[in-house]
Structure 1
Amino acid sequence: MELSDLLDRPQDVVTWQIDERDLVALVPELSTRIRQLEALRVRLVQEATFRGAITLTGASSAVSWLAESSKLTPAHAKRAMSLGADLDRFPDVRSSFENGDIDTEQARSIIGLLLKVPDYTSDIKNSGNGGEFDDPAAECADQCTKYLLTNGARENAEDTRRRVAGLASMLQPDDTTPPDDENEKLNEFFASRTAGGRLRVKGHFDKATGEQLMTALSALSKPEPGRNTTRGEREPDSRSAPQRRADAFADIVRHYLDSGAAPGEGGERPHMTVFVGLGDLARTTREAGIEPQDAGTSFIRRGPAWMPWLGPIGLRLAATLSCDASITPIVMDDDGNPLDVGRTTRLIPRRLRRALHARDCGCAFPGCGRPAAWTDGHHVHHWSNGGETKLSNLVLLCRFHHTLIHKGDWQVHIGDDQHPWFTPPHWIDHERKPIPAHNRGQLPLAC
């Protein structure tokens, strides 16, 4: 079957009637034709602009006419217009583009480099002044064009972009202003609170900073199969790639603050502050199943738990954050005025934390095992309900599994062997057989 037979009325093509061999042959042929048609549109728009034909349509500009008539965004239309004008200066690129060897993005990347070649070669003298080249800019542009077009014909736009960036880094003199992608002075990072109370961040960084960030995120954002059944079966990580990167970023920030290496602010080391009533906290941990519910016990809320930067938070999150934290008791009167500020104490002292590291070797949740440095110390019986801060009442959990335990579906207890055991919810195991901690389910290797 010929491609031309399909293009007369493509909407009427019955794909199931096409032979398998024809199917796999038609797709790349159609892709080449699409690139050729895109090049043809650029040529037609350029000719219409040159003749002034756009004025016949009543449009205010060629860009607005193209965007409206072709259902393109204004930005896409503007790029097409500028590409048509630039192609006149580089006939080899135009020929490759019109033949369908390269697409629009490849043509734009290549032309973007060729336009900068005169600046890159301005310090090279030609042969008339005792140099080695008749026309340094022309010779450099010719070599770059052949190299990029030859490779562009068999690769995608991203590959071509990387080749262009590589050539630019080699050609640019060392004593000039760095290109935008390497200029750290152009870095920006925005953080704003949304109407729903979340924090939205966006930004862009130079290559060196970006490489450092991606390196830091890479090891922490790998998929982590979970062990969710008593038979030891591993299920795929249910988080998407953006979710894994967000979790990794949160771990990096938390680890940095915990390290104490950050500069002080307001006379104190950076820390996250949570204000919550002790009675509210105790009630929440009981309702979550972390402590047995006492009949007849009730607490009146003094107000929401909250944080200085982002405002009110749920009591469940407050309970999770309070498991392994420094606590400063503040006595308030009925009008909310502080009467007395007690001494700040850390719930889990460093010596006990080291003992937890030695016992659990990291996150104890079955199938996890994240490094101990990235974990919280969770109170099996919450301290707000009288639970003691001692080895037999503590377990190391990463933030993800710490939150999971506080939801109350999974439960954890310290067994007769003095190690954590985890009880899955009934929909995972109807018998709810306890599962040993991660390091206890592995081979007895040193941690």
Structure 2
Amino acid sequence: MHERVFAREGGGMPVGDATVRLHEAIDLVAGIDVSEVPTADGLGELLEELTRCLRRLDFEFHRLLRSFEARGDHVPLGYRTAKQWCRDRLRMGDAAAATSLKLGRVLIDMPGVSSRWAAGDLGAEHAGAIAKVRTEETREAFGEWEGWLAQQAVDLDMRGLRKVLAKWRLQVDPDSGEPDRIEQDRDAHVSATFQGAVVIDGLLDAIGGAAFKTVFDGIVEELFKADWTEAKTRLGREPLSSELARTPAQRRADALVVMAQRAHVANPSAAARIRPLVVVVSGLDALAGGLAELWNETPLSARQLARILESDPDLERYVYGPGQVPIAYNERHRFFTGKLRRAIQVRDRHCTARGCDRPAEYCDIDHIEAVTAGGRTRPDNGRVACNPDNRARPHRRFHGDPDP
């Protein structure tokens, strides 16, 4: 029987040998006794290294899948398309098969991403996000910036990468019709089922969505605090999330009802207009970039910003000095309040604990150096911290804290 060969630079290896060795390596990992990894750091380092291995393996899967499709190997196997083969032989869903095939096709145009992915420095999620900004309009610039974008994927978390990609897209293609298309395509559907339940579905543009989400998220947070207080009173201790009266999905549904009830009882003529906050960072780098942001970090095109300014918005101005430190605030207060609190919220945007992205408006402003230890209530000693992470100090690590 002819042995298939898996060819790579520097020679080849029979497919059978390669897969056998791969299974043997997985068996070695499966044989790890967690009790023999005594420290959290030890187990954490193991998981980090396993993630790199998984990413490397995932890259090879996409590389081989691209070759499989390009050579038309699905045809002699009885399938009209590679997607059909993936669904049948790999048991992949339609969306997963289409995404994997599409990502495999563009790898040849992303050498920087491919090399970092092959090394395990980034994964399919990062590569897919970068691939989405490669359009007909950005193709030429993408070739020049692709290596830099790959480095951003290595250096940033997914939240930061998506923000960089959105800004890059607007910088390279400022006349992109994407924001206008979304605004033109905005819609909402509210329909009743035969049992009387109501189904809601919709799409809002960035500006309208920010106005809606600001109010909606505030009500969800309000309901969460009520559920937490009720559970704590009922149990006599700090509750687990699973012990709250409502699930997150139920709170979101109830928040829509609360929004409707409050709108019904409000006097429309006296109600204040809801305006999204546009954060314009003033500095040499920002001025050269020329982009503005909504409070939720959504970058705005010049056209979107003009529409906001035409609506007679309420404007707030904060000036930051070196190191993103708000300038000229009173230092004698025990608590971060007023404009000082707002300035730190605008600067940090979300909880600064590592791995947490809870929006700043639902967080505390925490003293980095405690007041009891001589810490001052001033901008450079304040940071946004959500209540659970604030309570978890000193065991919780924040951005800027040294690694152990």
TM-score by length of 1: 0.47
Q: Aligned pair in 2 of structure 1 residues 55, 10: CA closer, same or farther (>3 Å)?
A: farther
TM alignment of 1:136-151, pairs within 5 A: 138=140, 140-142=141-143, 144-151=145-152
Which structure features the higher share of helix residues?
2
4+ long deviations beyond 6 Å: 3-6, 228-235
Q: Out of 11, 24, 38, which is 1:20 matched to?
A: 38
Q: Aligned pair in 2 of structure 1 residues 148, 46: CA closer, same or farther (>3 Å)?
A: same
Distance 2:97 2:202 in 1: 26
Contiguous gaps of at least 5 residues in structure 2: 1-20, 270-404
TM alignment of 1:119-198, pairs within 5 A: 119=137, 138=140, 140-142=141-143, 144-174=145-175, 176-179=176-179, 183-198=182-197
Q: Aligned pair in 2 of structure 1 residues 206, 231: CA closer, same or farther (>3 Å)?
A: closer
The count of corresponding residues between Structure 1 and Structure 2 is 239
Instruction: Name 2:229's counterpart in structure 1.
Output: 226
Instruction: From the CA coordinates, give the structure whose radius of gyration is larger.
Output: 1
Q: Aligned pair in 2 of structure 1 residues 13, 212: CA closer, same or farther (>3 Å)?
A: same
Q: How far did 1:77 drift?
A: 0.9
Q: What are the Cα deviations for residues 31-76 of structure 1, in whole angstroms up to 9, with x where unaligned?
A: 1111111111111111122222212321221111022222211221
Distance 1:156 1:163 in 2: 11
Distance 1:152 1:230 in 2: 45
Q: Report the secondary structure of 2:210's partner residue.
A: helix
Question: Would the aligned equivalents of 1:46 and 1:81 in 2 still touch at CA under 8 Å?
Answer: yes
Distance 1:29 1:231 in 2: 43
Q: What are the Cα deviations for residues 408-432 of structure 1, in whole angstroms up to 9, with x where unaligned?
A: xxxxxxxxxxxxxxxxxxxxxxxxx
Instruction: Name 1:203's counterpart in structure 2.
Output: 202
Q: How far did 1:245 drift?
A: 2.5
Contiguous gaps of at least 5 residues in structure 1: 121-136, 263-447
Q: Report the secondary structure of 2:79's partner residue.
A: coil
Q: Out of 116, 121, 130, which is 1:110 matched to?
A: 130
Q: What are the Cα deviations for residues 176-197 of structure 1, in whole angstroms up to 9, with x where unaligned?
A: 52437x7211112222223443
Distance 1:248 1:254 in 2: 10
CA RMSD in angstroms, aligned pairs only? 3.2
Q: How far did 1:159 drift?
A: 3.3
Q: Does 1:30 align with 2:29?
A: no
Distance 2:216 2:192 in 1: 23
Q: How far did 1:211 drift?
A: 1.1
Q: Report the secondary structure of 2:189's partner residue.
A: strand
Question: Would the aligned equivalents of 1:191 and 1:200 in 2 still touch at CA under 8 Å?
Answer: yes
Q: Report the secondary structure of 1:20's partner residue.
A: coil
Q: Does 1:63 align with 2:83?
A: yes
Question: Would the aligned equivalents of 1:190 and 1:201 in 2 still touch at CA under 8 Å?
Answer: yes
Distance 1:229 1:19 in 2: 36
One-letter amino acid matched to 1:226:
T
TM-score by length of 2: 0.52
